[in-house]
Amino acid sequence: MKSGRLIAMTDIHGELAKLDSLLNKLNITSSDELVFLGDYIDRGPDSKGVIDRIISMSDVCKCTYLKGSHEYAYLNARKGDEYYKYLFWNYGGIQTVESYGSFENIYKVHGKFLDSLRPYYETDKYFFIHAGLRPGIPLEKQNEVDFYYIRGDFIYHKHDLAKKIIFGHTEFDEPLVQDDKICIDTGCGKYKNAVLTAIICGSEEFVHS
């Protein structure tokens, strides 16, 4: 029996049409596994539709959902943190609220899902995370905020894990491929003509919306 594919994508940012286009190109089957690396909300026009769609994929195949910086900011903004309120409202939160009808509706509709998001996910050969890790620090001693927000200190320095890290958060015109890590954020939701990118792990093949 042919084994399924391990596929990851990230930083969808409310762009439901691009998500649907990418999923159609991938032709997902029940033997595949999808790993979503976060940033489902903000900026694009249909954050609610994006989350509905990725949740529905769990009826098709195994799915794992990670937390991104925008979900982290929203959840902390909801608790009243002023800094994260600023991040949420100034980096696309207005569009998210519009897609749900109100700020309160976000949690009413998808609170259980947002609370369930994982900080990272590991397989035998790969480590999936939204933004990255701080090099030189054991995983169990990492500051969780770095999981969602770190950029250059991770991207431009080798990490210590014995697995290849697949991540997003920092956009590039095309996937950034390094020996120890691959970034698959290609700017979806931030730039009008930017594509949403998925990686088929193992073959390291990229598929774009």
Q: Which two tokens mark 9? A: 């994508």
Q: In whole numbers, what is the pLDDT of the chain averaged over residues?
A: 97
Domains of the chain: 6-208 (3.60.21.10)
Phi, psi dihedrals of residue 52, rounded to the nearest 5°:
-55, -40
Query: Mind listing the pLDDT tens digit for each residue in 159-171?
Result: 999 999 999 999 9
Give the integer Cα–Cα distance in Å for 65 and 52: 13
Q: What percent of the chain has pLDDT over 70?
A: 99
Provide DSSP, 30-46: TT-EEEE-S--SSSSS-
Rounded to an integer, the average pLDDT of 168-191 is 97
- H or E stretch including 83? helix 82-90
Nearest to 126 by CA among 203, 50, 11, 56: 203
Instruction: Please give the pLDDT value at position 2.
Output: 58
At 54-108, the pLDDT tens digits run 999 999 999 999 999 999 999 999 999 999 999 999 999 999 999 999 999 999 9
